[in-house]
Structure 1
Amino acid sequence: MLFDYHLHSHFSADSDMTMDELCQAAVNKGLDEIAITDHHDIDYKDDTIEFLIDKKEYLAEIEKMQQKYRGQLKIKKGIEMGLQEHIFEECEQYLADDFDFVIGSFHTAEKADLYNGDFFENYGQWEAYLQYLKAVLNVVKDYDHYSVIGHLDIIRRYGDFEQQPGLMEDEQAAELIREILKTVIAKDKGLEVNTSGYRIDGQNPLPDFEILKLYYQLGGKILTIGSDSHNTETIANKFNYTISKLKEIGFTELTTFSKMKAEFHKI
């Protein structure tokens, strides 16, 4: 069974791909199942773009695709929810019980945007990494309405730095990651393996393989795989290679979701 659990249609402000184009490309690439996971970021700290979705319209379009591709492709109602400590109540109200799958992602920290660089203004490289991980840890301790944490070490992608080191290289960062993973596992949540990470160093998804090894060693089992595609060309990018590396670590299953319940599939 082959599935891609991180895909963006035109409901995300940074994608022009229609849901129909997305689904047809998934069929053409031989996928059995997908989760459409467009961006919903409440109080996103960049006035030049808005990542907010009209839920009624969004879910209606997914249901339309489910009918159109019935028998060809299983399509799950997903969303990528930007998590911050001060918006938990708004997140709960928005999500309700309407989704199969929720990626909990971090596009901001300390109410500052990662992508445009605002978050990095007052920090050196490793200071920024540590503050980001502390923000993630605070959220996973206090919030539960998600399925997996998305691209855990995405902070490596941002900031105007010459090098993008693995976060496990620093002792403090590694300890924060350990605490994040232990908390996620204790709450029966999971991680996603996001293959857009290969754009950083050509060698690792997000999170990188060192973090995934630690997740396995700590007993982590819930693991989805997603391409984070905003266009048809990158759907299921490097999945075969990534799955082979996950097997080397020791993982034997990947996960899909229905109505927020994990379902495991041998790889």
Structure 2
Amino acid sequence: MSGLLDYHVHTSFSNDCLTQMAAACEAAISRGIREIAFADHCDFGGFDPSLNTLQVPEYLAEIGRCQRAYGQRLTIRAGIEVGEGHCFPDEAAAVLSSADFDYVLGSLHWLNNLPLWEGRYYADQPLDEGLEAYFAELAELAASADFDVLAHFDIVLRAAYQTFGYTVLDYQPYEDRIRAILRTLVERGKGLEVNTATLRRGMGQPNPPLQVLRWYRDLGGEIVTLGSDAHTAASVGGRLETAGALAQAAGFTRLACFEHRKPIFVEIAEGRLPAR
């Protein structure tokens, strides 16, 4: 796993994670990861008020402490994962303008007051109806939210897995709708994350799968990041080599890392990243 980048790591500053930031750094170093971006949750959905707990000053202060403690062995970026930013643009803008973030993930976690990562999203609707609604909302986020990279493009797979047992989904019937979203990303200069959390949870494809990555590449997309979406130290860096190989298979020769919200590209070499 030497030399990889993990651009989606959570800590105890997210209310769904107990991992201390220092423990995540130590896990990354032990696995040969050379760069990570913390991306703790800043959710504005309001559907579950307990989610809106990120204390930005304290969060950034802890990142600074870890940079000082581990900076000789690990590059640490100050990221943030903004959920439903298109629905709450003023609130999102206030947070993002309050600090010098390196990296902003844009995420869709909730739809119609239902969590997209849980089976109850599909409690009262068939698979196709849920997918249509999801991609329609994702198009709104892609078009208007302030972010650098779109996280877990098809997080709805996680709900489909829990409800119907699907480990993979074929998005060919939704190609036109998905390509429209990807075209928006390209036109706005936004990137796409390869999120490996599904691979650790019994599903057979990451978010998104090779199919979608190829469409993004065909449309001129260039900005791809890898993210474990780790919520435990044990998951930091999980399945990143698989994600890197998938990006290569889709035609990408470079991956992106970020500083001050500007992409920096590094070459992929046989699923690994050479030293810069």
TM (norm. structure 1) is 0.92
> How far apart are the structure 2 equivalents of 1:108 and 1:246?
27
Q: Report the equivalent of 2:220.
A: 219
1:65 counterpart SS class: helix
- Cα distance change on mapping 1:71 and 1:264 into 2, 3 Å: same
Map 1:166-185 to 2 at 5 A. 166-169=169-172, 171=173, 173-185=174-186
Q: Report the equivalent of 1:83.
A: 84
Deviations 1:79-119 (A, max 9, x none): 11102542111111111152100110110124433245554
CA contact (8 A) 2:9 2:228 kept: yes
Deviations 1:119-138 (A, max 9, x none): 44553211111101100101
> How far apart are the structure 1 equivalents of 2:193 and 2:263?
13
> How far apart are the structure 2 equivalents of 1:8 and 1:85?
22
Q: Report the equivalent of 1:103.
A: 105
Comparing 228-237 and 148-157, the one that deviates more? 228-237
Q: Report the equivalent of 1:256.
A: 257
Matched, 1:125 2:112: no
1:157 counterpart SS class: helix
Q: Report the equivalent of 1:4.
A: 6
Matched, 1:163 2:188: no
CA contact (8 A) 1:84 1:108 kept: no
1:192 counterpart SS class: strand
Q: Among the aligned pairs, what percent are the same residue?
A: 33
CA contact (8 A) 1:45 1:113 kept: no
CA contact (8 A) 2:116 2:159 kept: yes
- Tell me how far 1:205 sits from its aligned partner: 1.1
- Tell me how far 1:248 sits from its aligned partner: 2.2
1:86 counterpart SS class: coil
- Cα distance change on mapping 1:50 and 1:142 into 2, 3 Å: closer
2:87 counterpart SS class: helix
> What residue identity is the alignment partner of 1:166?
L
> What residue identity is the alignment partner of 2:260?
K
Deviations 1:188-211 (A, max 9, x none): 000000011214554321111111
2:88 counterpart SS class: helix
1:66 counterpart SS class: helix
**Which stretches in structure 2 are left out of the alignment for 5+ residues?**
269-276
- Tell me how far 1:24 sits from its aligned partner: 0.8
Matched, 1:32 2:21: no
- Cα distance change on mapping 1:224 and 1:81 into 2, 3 Å: same
Q: Report the equivalent of 1:21.
A: 23
- Cα distance change on mapping 1:85 and 1:19 into 2, 3 Å: same
- Tell me how far 1:61 sits from its aligned partner: 0.6
- Tell me how far 1:43 sits from its aligned partner: 3.0
Comparing 248-257 and 156-165, the one that deviates more? 156-165
TM (norm. structure 2) is 0.89
> How far apart are the structure 2 equivalents of 1:246 and 1:231?
25
- Cα distance change on mapping 1:240 and 1:121 into 2, 3 Å: closer
CA contact (8 A) 2:253 2:267 kept: yes
CA RMSD of aligned residues (A): 1.8
> Number of aligned pairs?
263
> How far apart are the structure 2 equivalents of 1:95 and 1:120?
33
CA contact (8 A) 1:194 1:206 kept: yes
Matched, 1:207 2:205: no
